[in-house]
Amino acid sequence: MPAPPTGTPLPLPTETPAPQPTDTPAAQNNAVTYTVKQGDSCWGIATRFNISVDDLIRRNNLAADCLIRPGQELVITR
């Protein structure tokens, strides 16, 4: 292929942005955040989301007695 004549403007490569991930880590794990309400219990929350109380405790670094309080946010992994 011959070189273009001297003085011919050459197209410059343009910078393309790096692709952004489509899923957040929470979405990849099917995790949701649940805000504890008055009267909630670990057993009730675990039952509602079809997970074990042990999984709820482990995922949220809760004490073995699973003491929770209204307004507390829990991560629920399904």
Tell me, what amino acid is at 7?
Answer: G
Digit-coded pLDDT (tens) for 31-61: 999 999 999 999 999 999 999 999 999 999 9
Query: CA-to-CA distance for 32 and 3, rounded, in angstroms?
Result: 59
Q: Where are the domains of the chain?
A: 27-77
pLDDT of residue 9: 80
Tell me, what amino acid is at 24?
Answer: T
pLDDT of residue 54: 97
CATH code at 27-77: 3.10.350.10
State the pTM of this model: 0.62
Query: CA-to-CA distance for 48 and 51, rounded, in angstroms?
Result: 8
Q: For residue 72, which of 25, 24, 26, 40 has the smallest C-alpha distance?
A: 40
Q: How confident is the model at residue 23 (pLDDT cuts 50, 70, 90)?
A: very low
Two structure tokens written together for 45: 């929350």
